[in-house]
Structure 1
Amino acid sequence: MIISERVGGQLVQHNAELHSIEADYDVIVAGLGTAGAIAAIAAAEQGLKVLGIERMSAMGGTGTIGAVIGYYFGNKGGLFEEIDEEVQRLAKLADYTKAAGVSADLKKIALEQRMEAAGVTIHYNATVIGVYMQDRTVKGVRWIGEDGISSAKSRIVIDCTGEAELSMMAGADYRKGRESDGKMQPFSNAIVWIENDAVKTFYTDSGYVDCEDGDSLSKEVIQSACCWTHQPDIFTEAPKFAKLAPLLGVREGRFIVGEQNVSFRDFINGTFTEEPLFYAYSNLDNHGKDVAFESELQQDWIVGASLWGLNFSVPIPLGALIPKGLDGLLVAGRSLAIDHDLAACVRMKRDMQKCGEAAAIVALLAIRHEVPLHKVPYDELKGLLMATGCLQEANHVGMRYGVPTKDDHEAVRGWLTDEQNIRSGLASDKPGIAIWSARNKGEQIRPLLQKWITLGEEPNLQRHSAFALALLGDRSAIPILRMIVQERDSFFPKTSRKYNQARGYAAIYLLGKLQDEGIVLELLNILHSREQFANVSTDAEFINHDDEYFFQYFTFSIAALFRIADRHSIHRALVEREIRKIVDDPDFSLYITFKPSKDVLYNMAETIRNMAREQFKRWEHTR
C-alpha cells in the first residue's frame, strides 16, 4: 500500500499502512459541490455508507456558494429536481426573501437535510491531501481539516473537486485548455443583491484563471472582486448590495484522460456511445471572444457557419468518468473526460448534478457485484438511472435549432439533405444550417456550390456557397472570399439566437484555412488599419465597441497569416517583421468586453503577444 500526494505540484509516493485505519466507508465523495452533493446523497440513499469531504463551509458549489441560482440549458430529470422542489417548498413555509431562481441559501439547507437524513458523514473546511493506493486501485483518502490530519478507507472514491485534484494525486493523466495556448474559458465572479424584495445575482466574466496555479488563482479572486461592477464608488439601497460570492464561477480546468474520451470532433462525426449514463444538453457556449485562437473545428462551427447558438445533446458514457488505468475512482463534474471544445457544452449545472447521481449508482453496482468500475453491468445501471429520471431517452434530441412555434413545438430538425433546401438556406440571411449541411454532403454537392459562386446577382447565395466550399477545402472559393475581405463585408448572419460572426472576418478565417498566399498583403494592411474599423452594425451581438470589432479582424488576420506562412515559408520573414512592429510595442493594447457586461474592458495584448512569440519560435526551429 502507498500514500500518493502532490507536493509543490509534483507527485510524491511513499509506503503506508491502511489496515490500522478504523474509519471505513463504502464511498468517499471529495468535494460536495454541484456534482458531489448529489453524488453523496444518491449513494447514501441506496444504502451505502458515505463520507463527504468539502473544503468550503457549505455544500452545493456553484449553485449555492457561487451564487449562480438560475439554470442555462442542461437536461431535466433526476435527483436534483427533488432537491429543487424541496427548496421551493421551504420557501413557502416561512417568510424568506424571494429568490430570482433556486434560492442558494435554501438549497444549502435542503441539501444538508437530505444528506443528514440519508446518514452521510460530512467534514466541512476539509481538503483531501493524499490518496491510498494498492497497485492502480484507490483504497482511501487522507485529508486535513479542523481536527488535523485524518484518514479513511473506502471501496469507491468519487472525485468531485472540480479540478480532478484527487485524480492527480492518484497519478491520472489529464488535459487542460485549448491546443493553441492552453487557455481555458473565462471565469465569472458573482455578486448578490436585494431588489424589489427579492434576492438577485449578477456576474461578470472577469478574465482567465488557471486553478492549477495558486498565485494566478489568488490574484484573480482579488482582482475580479474589485471590478467596478462589484465595488462601485457608491452603494445604494436599491438595489442593495448583499455579498460577494466566495466561490469563483470557473467554467473549465483539468479534464481527465478517461477510459472513454468524448470529443467534439467525434460527436460531429456521429461517433458516440450507445450506453450513456445521461445526456448533456446545451450549445457550444464558449464565453471567449478570442475565437481566432480556438481549434479549427470550433472555428468551422462558430465562425464558418455561425452555429454558436445551435443546441445539441451529448451522450456521456461510463468510461468518461473513469481515469484511464485506475480503479476504485470515479470523476464527476466538469473535469470528466471531454475535450476543450466540448467543454463549452458539457458543463451545465443540471447535467453536472446528473453526473454526480450517475457516479453514485455506478459505485453502488461496482460494490454490489464486486467488479471493477468498467465492468458494471450496463443494463442494470441503465434501469436504475431511468428509474430516477437521470437518464431519459427523450433527452437525446440531437441537434436543435430555431424557436418553437405552434406548428413546430419541438423545433427539432436534422441537417438539410435536399439540394434545393440547401440552396434556399444559402441564399437567406440565416445560412448556417445550409452551410454545415453542404459540408456534410461533401462531394455530392460540390459541383452545385461551384456553380452557385458564379451567381453574383444573388450575393448571399454566392458568398455562403463560397463558405461551404472553403469548409470542404475547395480553393475555388478563394476569389469570392478575397472579395468579401477587401469589402470588409459587415453582414452578420442571423443563424444563431446570439453571437453570429461577421462575414468579413469569417472570410479571413476561411482564407487562412485554405492557406491562400494571395491574401497576405491585404491581411498585413488590416493589422495597421485600426482607424478603419468603426460604425459596427447593430446586429453585432458579439461586438460592443469599435476596438472590439477591430480585435476580431486583427486576431483572425494574425491567425490566418500564421497558417499561410506555415505552408508558404517564403512569407515568414515579412509576416514576422510586420507583426513584431505591432505586438512588441510596449504600448500595444487591444481591449475586448466579456459577457454579460458591455462596460468591463479586458486587454488581450498579452495573449496576442504570447501567441505571436510562440509561433516565431516554431519558425526559428524549422530554419
Structure 2
Amino acid sequence: MKTSKQDTVYDVIILGGGFEGLGAAFTLAEKGKKVLVAESRPSLGWEATWTYNLELQKGISKYADILADEISSSGGTKGNRIDPVLTELSLLKMAKNIEILHYCCPSGFEIENNKVKALIMAGKSGSFYLQAKSYIDATENRITTGFTGEKDSEQPSKHIYSFFMNAVENTENLPEKVNYGNGVLLIKNTPWKGEAAIEFETSRSMYQARLEIPEILKFIRAKVSGMEKAIMTHSANIGLPIYAKNTTNFQSKTENIFYPSRRNATSAQGREALLSERMKSGEEAAALLMKKLDTLSAPAKLDRACPPSVIPEDAEHTDIIVCGGGTAGAVAAIAAGKQGQKTKLIEASVCLGGIGTAGAIHVYYHGVTGGIQDEIDRRVSELDALYAPDKMKRGFHPEVKKTVLLEMALEAGVSIEFESMLTGTETDSVEQHLPAGKSERADRKIKSVITNNLSGVNRHTAEVFIDSTGDADLAALAGCRYSLGRDTDAVPHSYSQPSDSIIEDKSIKENNFDMGYCDPTDPWDMTRARIIGLRHYQNASFADEKRAFALAPLLGLRNSRLIYGKYRMTLADQIKASEFPDVIGYSYCHYDNHALDYENESDEAMIWVWCLGNWHARIGCEIPYRSLLPENIVNLLVACRAMSLEFDAHNQLRMQRDMQRIGEAAGIAAAISCRDKKYPTEIDVKKIQEKLFESGALKNKENNYHWDGWKPENLFALQMKNNLLASGENMTDIVKSAYDLKTLKNKLDSDKAEEKYNAALKLALANDEKARKVLLDCIKERCPIKTEGYKTAEMWKPAMMLAGMLKIKEAIPLLNEVINDETSDQAALIAAMKALARLGEKASAPLIEKMLKRDNLPSIQTFQRSSGHMPVVEENSLWKLELAAVECLSGLGVKRPDIIERYIDNESAVIRRSALRIKEKTGV
C-alpha cells in the first residue's frame, strides 16, 4: 500500500502516543527534529483521554506544566483535575510540529547490521514501510521487543475503570470514597458543575469492565446522596492497567531503538502524579537520545516499495470469524453464536455497536424493526432507566447498548478480540463450478485472516468469514472487486467527527456535523480527517451548559468501498420498491445523501433531487441475499454498508436498522453454511429465510416473505399513479410511470414560472418537445425559483444539466454566457461545462480555459449540519471546479495535464483519488 509519507525519513519515530511518547516527541520537536508519533488508537494521551485517569500534577514535567496551563486557559481544570476532551484538544495543539499517524500498528522490523533499517506498519489496506534514524518504543507493552527477540513486557494484574455521572446534586458534599464489596469506589469531582467521576478496580479485562457498571449504579443510587436522579453519561474506552511495579529502562541489542523507563499505576489510589511522571520519563528518554542521534546515520533507501507480509505459522481455528463488531458485525456474531457455531469476533475499536455506540449517533433513523434487533432494543430499554432515571428523550443510551451487546455476545459464546486490526488475509483457489468463460475471475476462498493488536501479529483460520468492517477491508484484501466513491469523481460521502453533550432535560444529545471528505481505506487520510475534526472543537464553547463531554472515538464514515456481488442493488430498485426471491430483510429511508453539490453527482441523483425534489421522498425495497455475496470469494459474506450496492443506492440503505438486519442474516447464513458443509454461495436461501421468519426478521411466509407491512404510507412507490415495478431501470422510465404527464403538459403554458418550469423538468425527461423549449426559457431567465424539496437548486441549473443530457443544442449560447459570467457560482459553472461537453461544443473550450484563469473563481463549499450546536463547516473546493473542467475540456479536445498534476500529490487522499479518476477517464 503506497502512503503519502512513504519516502520520508524521520529523525525519530515514536511508537506510542501516550504521555511518555508525547513527552519525548515534544522534547525532540523543540530541538528541530523531524518526529513521527505512531499511535494505533485515534487519540493522543490515551491514559487521560481514553482511560480517564485525570489528575495532572504540576512541577514535575516541563510539558505536563504547559499542558496544564493550556487546559486551564479553556476552563478545563479544577485543582489537579482535568477535563478529558480539553486534554485531547490541548495535546493536539501542542503537537503542531509533530507528525501523527493513527489507525495502524507496528508489525515488524527490517534489521541490517544490527540497526533497524525500516519499520513495517500494518493498516486496514495492508502493510507499508516507515523509516527513521532512530526509534523510541513508548508502547504500553514494549511491542517491538517481540520483533527483536527480546520480549520484555509485564502483564497488568488489574485495571482501574471510570465512568461519569452528570446532573449530580451537591457535588461538593460527595464522599471521596465508598466501600463497595471487597473494595472501594472512588468518587471524584471534575471541573464541571454537577459532574462526578466514579472509579473502581476490576480484575476483568480492560474491555469488559463496563459489565460491572449496572450493579455499581444500583449501589450508588441507593447509598450516595445526590446520585438518585443523576444520569450516567459516559465511561472510559478502556481501563487503566495496574502493574506490580514500574517499568525500568531496557537497553536493546539493536543500536537505534530505545526503551525508556516508565511510571506505572500500582493501585487505584496514589495516581496523582502518574501523567506528569510519564511525560517526564519521555522527556528524559529524548534527552538521552539527543546525545546519540547525531552519531546515527540515515537508513539506506529501500529496494522495494511494499514489505513482505508478516504471517505467523500458528493459528487458532474456529467455525466463523466476523471481522468488525459494529452495527452489523455485533449482530452477525450474536446470530451465529445463537445458532451454536463457534464464533470469533475481531473488532478494531474498544466496544461493540459501531456508530451507534462509539460514533455518538445513538438514535435510529428510519428502517424496519424485527428480528434479533428487537431483543437488543428491549434489553436496552429495560436497562435504560438505571443509567438515565428521567429516560433518554432522544434515541437510546449508547453506554447501555455497549453493555447489552457485550452481554449478548458473551451469552452466545462469542470470543471477542478488541483493538485488533485486520491487516491481511490468505486465500486459496477452489474448484470452478461455472463453465469456462462465464466468470472474469476464478473463485477463491479465504484460508485465514491476519490481525495486528497491542501484542503483535496473529493469524486466525475459519470455515466461513463475515466482513462487517464497514469498508469491505476483508473483501478487498481477499481480492474482491469494488468501487469507491461516486462514479463521476470518486468522491465518497462526507464524514463527521461527532461528540456528545448534555441538554437541559438531562438527556444526551449528539453533535453531528459534516466536515469534509476522508478516504476510509487510508490510515494517513483517516488521521488527517480525525485531526481536522478535533480542531473544529478547539474553538467551541466549553461552558457547563453545552460543552462536549465526550468525543466519539469513531469517525462518522458514511461510505467507503462497495463490493461487486452476485446482485448489485440500484436506486431504481429502491424507488420502485423491488421484491426479490432471496429476500432477507426490508429497508426504507430516503435518499439520505449529505452532498450539496448535485452537479457532481450521477444523472440519476441530480434528477431525483434537483429536478424532482425527492430528497425526502420515502424509498426502499427488499434486501436480496445475493447482495451479501461477493462475486468470487465463496466463503465470505459482506454484511455492512459495503455490501453490493451502487453508490446511489447506498444513500438509502446504510442506516443502523438496515445494518442490524443484514448482520443477523449473515450470521445465520454462516451458521447454516458450517452445518451443511457448503459455501454461503451454495446453501439453500430458504433455510436462511426460515430462521429469519422464526426470529421475526421476515414476515408473511405464505407469500414467500414478500410483506407490505414494512412500507410506510408515504412510500414513493405507493403514492404514484402506476405500479413502478413494471417500469424500467433508468430515471426516464420511472418518470414516465410515476407522474401524470397529461396534467404536467397543461402546466407548460402556465403564467407561474414555478409551475411551468417544474413541469418542464419532468416532461423533458419524457422527451416532450415543448418541454425542451421551455427549459431554454428557464436557462435564459436564470429562474431563481427552486424545485420544491430539500437540497434543490434554482431551476435553471438542473435545466442546464438536462440540456446536455438531452442534446438540446439551442442551449449552447446560453451555456457560454454562464461560463463568461463572473457572478456564476460553482454549481452553475460545473453544470454549464458538463452540458457543453455532452453537446460536444468544441468552440466553448477557449471560454472554459479563460474562465479557469480568473482569480475570483467560486471556491467555498459548505457542509451539512445534522444536529447539535457546532457551526457549519466550510472548505475550499476549487479542486472540484478545476477537475470538472479538465474532464469537460478533454471531451472538447483540450488536454490539461497541468491541472491534474496540481492535485495528484494533495495531502487529501480523496482529492488525490479524484484527480486519478479524472486522469483515468480522460487519458490526460
Band the TM-score falls in, shorter-chain normalisation: 0.7 to 0.9
CA offset digits 1:340-394 (Å, max 9, x no partner): 1011111001101111111001111111211121222122211111221223457
From 645, 648, 652, the counterpart of 1:345: 652
| Residue of structure 2 in register with 1:439 after alignment | 736
Q: 1:454 Cα deviation (Å)?
A: 5.5
Q: Which residue of 1 aligns with 2:882?
A: 609
**Residue 185 (structure 1) aligned to one of 493, 496, 510:** 493
Bigger shift: residues 194-203 or 466-475? 466-475
SS in 1 for 2:518: coil
Structure 1 residue aligned with 2:378: 85
CA 1:172–1:589 in structure 2 vs 1: closer, same or farther (change >3 Å)? same
Deviates more, 1:276-285 or 1:249-258: 276-285
Give the TM-score normalised by structure 1.
0.83
Kindly indicate whether residue 404 of structure 2 is the aligned counterpart of residue 110 of structure 1.
yes
**1:517 and 1:568 in contact (8 A); partners too:** no
State the Cα distance separating 1:133 from its structure 2 match: 2.4
Change (3 A) 1:5 1:302: closer
Q: Which residue of 2 is the match for residue 250 of structure 1?
A: 557
- CA change 1:220–1:385 in 2 (3 A) is same
Q: Counterparts of 1:60 and 1:488 in 2: how far apart (Å)?
A: 48
Return the alpha-carbon distance in structure 1 between the equivalents of residues 616 and 707 of structure 2: 18
How big is the shift at 1:258? 0.8
Secondary structure class of the residue paired with 2:627? helix
Q: Deviations over 1:69-105 (max 9, x none)?
A: 1111111112122112212211223566854321111
Aligned to 2:53: none
Structure 2 residues without counterparts, runs of 5 or longer: 1-123, 130-304, 430-443, 700-704, 724-730, 896-921
> Which residue, out of 285, 297, 313, partners 2:620?
313
Spell out the pairing of 1:524-603 with structure 2 (5 A cutoff): 524-527=816-819, 529=821, 551=825, 554-582=826-854, 585=855, 589-596=859-866, 599-603=872-876
Change (3 A) 1:8 1:611: farther
Amino acid at match of 1:564: L
1:142-192 Cα distance to aligned partner (Å, 9 max, x none): 212233222222111111111111111111111111111101111112111
Contact between 2:578 and 2:621, CA under 8 Å: does it hold in 1?
no
One-letter identity of the residue aligned with 1:371: K
Match of 1:620? 894
CA distance in 1, matches of 2:465, 2:473: 12
SS of 2:807 mapped into structure 1 = coil
| Mapping for residues 302-451 of structure 1, pairs under 5 Å | 302-392=609-699, 396=708, 402=714, 413-417=718-722, 439-440=736-737, 448=742
The percent of aligned pairs where both chains have the same amino acid is: 26
Alignment partner, residue 512 of structure 1: 804
1:502 aligns with 2:502: no
Deviations 1:443-475 (A, max 9, x none): xx87x5796365244655543332222112444
Task: Please give the alpha-carbon distance, in whole angstroms, between the structure 2 residues aligned to 1:254 and 1:367.
Answer: 27
User: Is contact 1:416–1:437 with CA below 8 Å preserved after alignment?
Assistant: no
Whole-angstrom distance in 1 between the partners of 2:744 and 2:409? 63
The aligned counterpart of 2:426 is: 132
- CA pair 587-311 structure 1, distance change in 2 beyond 3 A: closer
* Partner residue, 1:71: 364
Give the equivalent residue in structure 1 for 2:327. 34
Question: What are the Cα deviations for residues 209-242 of structure 1, in whole angstroms up to 9, with x where unaligned?
Answer: 1112322221111112211xx3335410112320
Report the counterpart of residue 7 of structure 1 in structure 2. 127
- 2:389 and 2:477 map into 1 onto residues whose CA distance is 42
Task: Give distance in 1, aligned partners of 2:307 and 2:611.
Answer: 46
Distance (Å, rounded) in 2 between the aligned partners of 1:332 and 1:17:
27
Quick one: distance in 2 between partners of 1:179 and 1:254? 12
Shift of 1:530: 5.8
Bigger proportion of residues as helix: 1
Larger radius of gyration: 2
Inter-CA distance 360–341: structure 2 relative to 1 (3 Å threshold): same
Superposition CA RMSD, Å: 3.2
Equivalent-residue separation in structure 2 for 1:137 and 1:91 (angstroms): 43
Paired residue secondary structure (1:439):
helix
CA distance in structure 1 between the aligned counterparts of 2:762 and 2:128, rounded to whole angstroms: 49
User: Distance in 2 between the 1:25 and 1:12 partners?
Assistant: 29
CA contact (8 A) 2:445 2:634 kept: yes
1:567, distance to aligned residue in structure 2 (A) = 3.0
Superposed CA offset, 1:524-574 (max 9, x none): 43345465xxxxxxxxxxxxxxxxxx64xx424423432333333333424
| Bigger shift: residues 388-397 or 377-386 | 388-397
Distance 1:412 1:437 in 2: 10
Tell me the equivalent position of 1:546. Answer: none
Change beyond 3 A, Cα 1:88–1:169 = same
1:567 maps to amino acid? L
- 2:312–2:459 Cα contact (<8 Å) kept: no
1:225 aligns to 2:518 (yes or no): no
Q: 1:17 to 1:64 in 2, by over 3 A?
A: closer
Q: Does 1:288 align with 2:582?
A: no
* Deviation string, structure 1 residues 395-434 (Cα, Å, up to 9, x no partner): 65798674xxxxxxx997242259xxxxxxxxxxxxxxx9
Change in Cα spacing, 1:17 to 1:92, as seen in structure 2 (3 Å) is: closer
Partner of 2:584 in structure 1? Answer: 277
Residue type at the aligned position of 2:894: E
- AA matched with 2:386: L
Name 1:544's counterpart in structure 2: none
| 1:28-68 deviation digits (Å, cap 9, x = unpaired) | 11110111111111111111111111111111110000010
How many angstroms apart in 2 are the aligned matches of 1:411 and 1:210? 33
Q: Does 1:470 align with 2:767?
A: no
CA distance in 2, matches of 1:376, 1:97: 48
Q: 1:93 to 1:250 in 2, by over 3 A?
A: same
Partner of 2:235: none
**C-alpha distance in 1 between matches for 2:547 and 2:828:** 42
What does residue 43 of structure 1 align with? 336
From 182, 188, 203, the counterpart of 2:512: 203
Match of 1:61 in 2: 354
SS state at 1:41 partner: helix
Moved more, 27-36 or 148-157: 148-157
Letter in 1 for 2:603: E
Q: Give the Å deviation of 1:611.
A: 1.8
Confirm whether residue 171 of structure 1 aligns to residue 470 of structure 2.
no
**Contact kept in structure 1, 2:484 and 2:490, CA below 8 Å:** yes
2:663 alignment partner AA: G
Structure 1 residue 307, shift from structure 2 partner: 1.1
CA distance in 1, matches of 2:734, 2:752: 20
Structure 2 counterparts to residues 10-21 of structure 1, below 5 A? 21=315
- 1:206, distance to aligned residue in structure 2 (A): 0.9
Q: Which residue in the other structure is 1:431 paired with?
A: none
Give the counterpart letter for 2:476 in structure 1.
M
